[in-house]
Structure 1
Amino acid sequence: MDLLVPYYEHPADRPAEWDAIIAAAPRLYGVVLNPANGAGPAPDPAFVTVADRLRAAGVCVLGYTDTGYGRRPHADVLTDLVRHRDWYGADGAFLDQVPTEPEFVAHYRRLGVAARAAGAATLVLNHGAHPHPAYAELADLLVTFEGPWDTYRALDLPVADHYCHLVYAAPPGARPTTRVRCAVPGGGDHPWGTLPHVLAGA
């Protein structure tokens, strides 16, 4: 259970890829469900079906919620969290665009409490870079790197069990150093529209 998969493609467009993700259930830490840059304005039946299949396979479903680096209003974030729970049965939350600075810790502590109250048994904060240590107590997993492989391989990043590295534009065989990780071949503006190499047979 070491693979966190942010796969941002519609199930109706990529059914075989979603089948591959579900078939890999024993290897998955969780899957980030992102129907419409968040839960969207209404339930999407195709994502409802995928979420049901993931949960039936024992996979943690993490509802994607953009926090705007602390600028998005608390009520809007909470609305997304509740919609993910009610529409897709999400049992976890993936809070994206989380800042690294310590002055935002109190804000994200409140968001974490709200996420737990909304049913998130697993909480992931995506900083994309190494954050202040105070964030560690707020979540189960911190994404402390998100970026291309060429940048990643030149860095000497701290590693801990509660850190995750998400790497794109990665060659076959690329392996981030954290226990929970993901490396995909895609790049550009939409790297998370490609499967991790280990699921694509690369």
Structure 2
Amino acid sequence: MSHLIPSGHRRPLAARPAPLRLAVPGFAHPLVAPAEWGGLQRAGLPLDWVTLGSTALRESDGVTGGPGARQDPYWLAAVVPLRTAGVRVLGHLDLAHGARPFGELLSDAQRFLNWYRVDGFLLARCPADAEALPEVRRVAGALRTVLERAHLVLAQGTHPSPGYAEVADQLVTFAGPWSGYRWSRAAEWTADHPPERFCHLVHGVPRSHLQEALRVARWQGAGTIYFTDRTDHGAVDPWESLPGYWDEIVSAIGPGLSE
């Protein structure tokens, strides 16, 4: 369905031979979602990264996610097998659109590292405008001081100012519903970067449109995706549980598959 995205906003498939990989933006607490966390331990899953702490914790100051006040043995039990299998585990840091104090962010990062030995951080609600870039660059530099080879993902959920591509390992350039994703366009500057630099998180994708969604991701140059049929109706967090077609996604983007 090439009419969805004008040719000026997509790359030729031949320029993106790497297969898609999966990101997990964050399940509910392991006590609430044991099947979800257990399912990630299956051998051979094309996982890029898994986020810890993004949906289970709600702090009184309006900040979502975080490491909590003390080490949680259930989180630890969920994380250890993933790290042993070589899957990146990221700590969820909420930038609150630039409102979080610098010291709080570093404190959360250190606790994630001390308690769960995370491999990097997902910076949720990250600013996207050029004016905020120096402060985000400062935060990213400090996180790489705390953890030298930290894998950093900036989760803006939209295409940010191009300078952000130099700050992090990966940008989440779309996070939202299928109704918006199927008509979305990639910013032209993204064509200067390889697919592994971009991630798309899409909820409300019907099973009947799964293959179409995968084509949109490839056309737009995303190397990492998470699609789910769960929706955000009411107070429901669409990322808290596995999609009903999880096995289909795994099969569709598994190693060796090409389109």
TM norm structure 2: 0.73
User: What is the rounded CA distance, in whole Å, between the counterparts of 1:15 and 1:25 in structure 2?
Assistant: 19
Q: Is the 8 A contact 1:25 1:59 kept in 2?
A: no
Q: Distance in 2 between matches of 1:43 and 1:10?
A: 13
Moved over 4 A (4+): none
| Separation in structure 1 between the aligned mates of residue 160 and residue 122 of structure 2, nearest angstrom | 16
- The secondary structure found in structure 2 opposite 1:145 is strand
Residue 30 (structure 1) shift: 0.4
Which region of structure 1 is more displaced relative to structure 2, 38-47 or 166-175? 166-175
TM-superposed CA distance for 1:8, in Å, is: 2.6
Q: Which residue of 2 is the match for residue 170 of structure 1?
A: 205
- Structure 2 counterpart of 1:183: 227
* Partner Cα separation in structure 1 for residue 111 and residue 243 of structure 2: 27
Structure 1, unaligned runs of 5 or more: none
AA at the equivalent of 1:116: R
Counterpart position of 2:6 = none
Which structure has more RCO (C-alpha within 8 Å, separation ≥ 6)? 2
Paired residue for 2:5? none
**Are residue 86 (structure 1) and residue 114 (structure 2) matched?**
yes
Q: State the alpha-carbon separation in 2 of the partners of residues 24 and 105 from structure 1.
A: 39
TM-score (norm 1): 0.93
Q: Report the count of equivalent residues.
A: 202
| Amino acid corresponding to residue 42 of structure 1 in structure 2 | R
Report the Cα distance in structure 1 between the residues aligned to 2:200 and 2:70, rounded to whole angstroms: 31
Q: Does 1:137 align with 2:166?
A: yes
| Cα RMSD after superposing both structures | 1.8
| 1:75-127 Cα distance to aligned partner (Å, 9 max, x none) | 01111111110111101100000111001111011110111122152100000
Cα distance, 1:113–1:123 mapped onto 2, change above 3 Å: same
| Shift in alpha-carbon separation, 1:101–1:24, aligned structure 2, 3 A | farther
Q: Distance in 2 between matches of 1:56 and 1:198?
A: 26
Identity rate, percent:
37
Stretches of structure 2 that go unaligned for 5 or more consecutive residues are 1-19, 58-64, 250-259
Q: 2:239 aligns with which of 171, 174, 192?
A: 192
CA radius of gyration, larger in: 2
Corresponding position: 1:27 with 2:64: no
Q: Which structure carries more strand by proportion?
A: 1
Report the AA paired with residue 242 of structure 2. Answer: L
